[in-house]
Structure 1
Amino acid sequence: MPDPVHVRELAADDLDAAWELGRFAFGSDPQRPAHATATPAGLTRYGAFDDTGRLVGKAVDLHHDQWWSGSAVSAADVAGVAVAPEARGRGVARAMLTALLCGARDRGAAISALYPTVAAPYRACGWETAGVLRTVDLATALLPRHRPAAHLVVRAGTAADLPAVAALYERVTRHRNGMLTRRGELFDVFTADRGLPGDGLTLVKDDGDLVGYATWQRGRGYGADSVLTVDEALAVTAEAARELVGVLASWASVAPTLRLCPFDGDVVGLHLPLESAREHERDLWMHRPVDVARAVSARGWPAHVRGTVDVTLVDPLAEWNSGTWRLTVAEGAGELTRISGEADLRLDVRGFALLYAGAAPARSVAQAGLLHHAAGVDPAALDLLGAGGPAQLLDYF
């Protein structure tokens, strides 16, 4: 039987041990950065301790908000999960994640996302794969170049332009699902110095209004292996996207490779030769409800979607989610109401995550064994839970 562990929030005195645990787990540089032992607002650190008081595990709840069809939904995004090698396989991660979910629910979180180094332990705790953040390489010389539009102004940005950049990011992302709002105390810490987020910031303006931007890292050298890394390139008009792509194309002689994360359906991506892209990196991300009733009521829903469906939900780790619920969606709002009895549809919490994030239709969830239904009952009724399209993430954490 596994040795019991005690899980609690980490105090300032615990942060040196937490840094060392993370350093060994992730192979970090031995030089400790200043933020490793800081205590910024907007996150909660959890630790698991054995019966001698030794720290054997850690996990961080990032107090993010995510956009879901125009509404900001409180999230407990998980990062920095590490378990000492001698304590692995003994239920330490499960104990920490259970405590994290309880604490997140108490502070009002509705949903959770994470990037796993290995998916199985998180699947066992109710998270399920919902998408991939892809990083690709493009030959810079393949990018199209257009004659600059006379009515657009293209210039280098400064720190004074960052509020306008943040407003344009929100304009692009708030009607989507899953994107971080980049608001709140944690992001206030990141932007406190008001410096540029990379080596350069390129802006496109139309009659004084920002309509596109790109942030980028120049990298080193100018030979065949030189890479220009585009951290982000977003636009709200096709003309602005063409201008940004033209600026990026101008680097071809000194940075033959362009590295970026394509954003499905984004205006800039529609002007890139992505058919020629080579995958550089892929980061799988997973999703989970913290509080299913809150997850449904807090998000936005497509105004044209209407329906009602009953479902019995099973969530062994977060028992407050378990039970029989009636989902009602109408006029851009949704609600889960507890009802008595057993429904004809029985859904595992991982299936809820897949449906909510738009990662799979109900029939596929049933084929995966995460949704069970009585004979003659169409599982597609639960597609109502996934209305609004697939979730995406642009931020790694």
Structure 2
Amino acid sequence: MHPTTVIRQLEADDLTAAGELGRLAFGGGPPTAPPPRDPPPGRTGYGAFDPDGRFVGKAVDLHHEQWWAGRRVPAADVAGVAVLPEARGRGVALALLRELLRGARERGAAISALYPTVTGPYRRAGWEVTGALRAVDLPTVALPRHRPASGLTVRPGGPADLDAATDLYERIARHRCGLLTRRGGAFHRDGAPTALPDGVDGLTLVEQDGRLVGYASWQRGRGYDRRAVLTVEEVLATTPEAARELVGVLASWQSVTPTVRLWPLGSDAIAAELPLEQAREHEQRIWMHRPVDVVRAVRGRGWPAHVRGRVDFALTDEIAPWNTGAWRLEVDGGDAELHRITDEPAARLSVRGFALLYTGAADGYAVAEAGLLHCPAGTDPGALDLLGAGPRAELLDYF
């Protein structure tokens, strides 16, 4: 990067240039509306400017929260990273990400996730691939149908039911790891919703004693021949009976939509009812993770109440140097803390290895085999598995 390149937060006057760079980088069509007069809420944009003041790069910090085993953890999820073609290869993206992490730490963020178009630049900045958002296609005729369960009501929903659907999502998401809270920031709404979200044609609800226990939001698509696809934007249930009802409703589309497309969780009530052996992958979007502040990342999340232990390690983080140092992790009764220590630990962990362990994407042996954890002979890399105690992290939202 040119030594006089300036990285700063975007202001209202920068939004037109930022939008145009995003359109060029990601292949969008011409704008259909004027740029906003003020930066959108729930995000902080960063811009890079060359010595002539030309706008050459951007990155956006999304002020999300993620559920981690019952606790909300503030996140700086990253989107919209783009660099002008003539400025690429000069360290602009790395400088933007460095400043984004610094600003995110100042506002209290603990962790960060992103969907990359290419992994190399993000790995150099400390993110690592830790999961994938997968869309699968299933033959509609293969979906099971059961007799309707007594005590359940299945009905179409509307805008007035969206808050109840969000509450049900939260009941499922809060005990998992990585899923967004869908509260505040970009998810904030002024007043009650008056329409279904863009791209959603229908909402199917399953209720028990007046309480929502499952829902599916779907897009009908076009046609009714062999190419027709019913796209299920989301389908979630809190009981197996509700899951069977929802899968049965999806199966009822077999005469006009031979394919159902959905984004399943790794394991839940819905996945337990699907013939996943017949699933074909439609697309996969990998996502990457890293800590913004390791102390907050450890203290802020939930931990399994039955897990107790202690492990020392040295961490290296060149982009966020406040994370670098010798640490002792102590986990006890659902809580954990990281303390700085003066001793030199035997285990030396990179920030990318920290991300793999923290999200449960890999164990200590796998991280060591990848060269992201170094232990002297006779030291068990599995001791670092303590950092990943709990469910493996997942995402259901693309950003």
The alignment partner of 2:306 has SS state of coil
The alignment partner of 2:357 has SS state of helix
Q: Retained in 1: the 8 A contact 2:160–2:193?
A: no
Q: Distance in 1 between matches of 2:56 and 2:321?
A: 26
Q: Distance in 1 between matches of 2:190 and 2:258?
A: 31
Which residue matches 1:70? Answer: 70
The amino acid across from 1:41 in the alignment is P
CA 1:38–1:256: 2 relative to 1, 3 Å: farther
CA 1:272–1:190: 2 relative to 1, 3 Å: farther
The alignment partner of 2:339 has SS state of strand
Q: Distance in 2 between matches of 1:35 and 1:201?
A: 32
Which residue matches 1:187? Answer: 187
Which residue matches 2:325? Answer: 323
Deviations 1:317-376 (A, max 9, x none): 000000001100001000001111311111000000000000000011011111011222
Which residue matches 1:6? Answer: 6
Question: Per-residue deviation at 1:151?
Answer: 1.4
Which residue matches 1:356? Answer: 358
Q: Distance in 2 between matches of 1:270 and 1:119?
A: 32
Which residue matches 1:146? Answer: 146
The amino acid across from 1:330 in the alignment is D
Q: Retained in 2: the 8 A contact 1:3–1:90?
A: no
Residues 220-231 of structure 1 correspond to what in structure 2 (within 5 A)? 220-231=222-233
Equivalent position to 1:240, from 222, 239, 242? 242
Two-structure CA RMSD over aligned residues (Å): 1.4
The amino acid across from 2:359 in the alignment is A
Q: Distance in 1 between matches of 2:55 and 2:189?
A: 27
TM-score, reference length from structure 2: 0.97
Identity rate, percent: 65
Q: Distance in 1 between matches of 2:317 and 2:43?
A: 25
Which residue matches 1:381? Answer: 383
Deviations 1:14-73 (A, max 9, x none): 000001101010000113446766522110011001011111001100000000000000
1:94 aligns with 2:100: no
Q: Retained in 2: the 8 A contact 1:40–1:189?
A: no
Q: Retained in 2: the 8 A contact 1:47–1:58?
A: yes
Q: Retained in 1: the 8 A contact 2:205–2:215?
A: yes
Question: Per-residue deviation at 1:148?
Answer: 1.0
Q: Retained in 1: the 8 A contact 2:160–2:192?
A: no
Q: Retained in 2: the 8 A contact 1:159–1:195?
A: yes
Residues 244-255 of structure 1 correspond to what in structure 2 (within 5 A)? 244-255=246-257
Q: Distance in 2 between matches of 1:250 and 1:38?
A: 46
1:392 aligns with 2:394: yes
Which residue matches 1:265? Answer: 267
Gaps of 5+ in 1: none
Q: Retained in 2: the 8 A contact 1:61–1:78?
A: yes
Which residue matches 2:202? Answer: 200
The amino acid across from 1:229 in the alignment is T
Q: Distance in 1 between matches of 2:179 and 2:190?
A: 17
Deviations 1:150-188 (A, max 9, x none): 311000111111111111001111100100010112210
Q: Distance in 2 between matches of 1:300 and 1:256?
A: 42
Q: Retained in 1: the 8 A contact 2:41–2:185?
A: yes
Aligned pair count? Answer: 397
Deviations 1:196-245 (A, max 9, x none): 12111000001111100000011111111111100000001010000000
The alignment partner of 1:246 has SS state of helix
Q: Retained in 2: the 8 A contact 1:78–1:113?
A: yes
Which residue matches 1:122? Answer: 122
Which residue matches 1:309? Answer: 311
Q: Retained in 2: the 8 A contact 1:357–1:386?
A: yes
Q: Distance in 2 between matches of 1:16 and 1:59?
A: 14
